[in-house]
Amino acid sequence: MDAKLKKSQLARLSRIEGQVRGIARMIEEERYCIDVLTQVRAVRAALNKVEQETLADHLQHCVAHAFHAGSEKDRMNKIEEILEVLDSRRR
């Protein structure tokens, strides 16, 4: 992961961490359920963005490298890794 993306991802994760703490406070304060759910959805959307950017980076660098310089086994391993991650997301 390049330095710019790493910095961006860490900043985004820091904001997400703050949002999750905020949700915990909302629950402690017995805030309106819809407000809590709205914040949970916002956290999910932010985590999805982290996931998308990380997957894109993986495809552009790790997988591309395996396809250009790796062996057939390396290529198949990268494909299997991606399929496993994508399959676990659907469960």
For residue 86, the model assigns a pLDDT of 86
This prediction has a pTM of 0.82
Q: Quote the pLDDT of residue 58.
A: 92
- Domain range holding 49? 3-89
How many domains are there within the chain? Answer: 1
| Both structure tokens of 42 | 């916002």
Question: Can you give the pLDDT at residue 30?
Answer: 97
CATH of the domain at 54: 1.20.58.1000
CA distances (Å), 13 to each of 41, 48, 84, in order? Answer: 15, 11, 23
Four-residue CA torsion sign, 30, 33, 39, 43 = positive
pLDDT tens figures, 29-88: 999 999 999 999 999 999 999 999 999 999 999 888 888 888 889 889 999 999 998 887
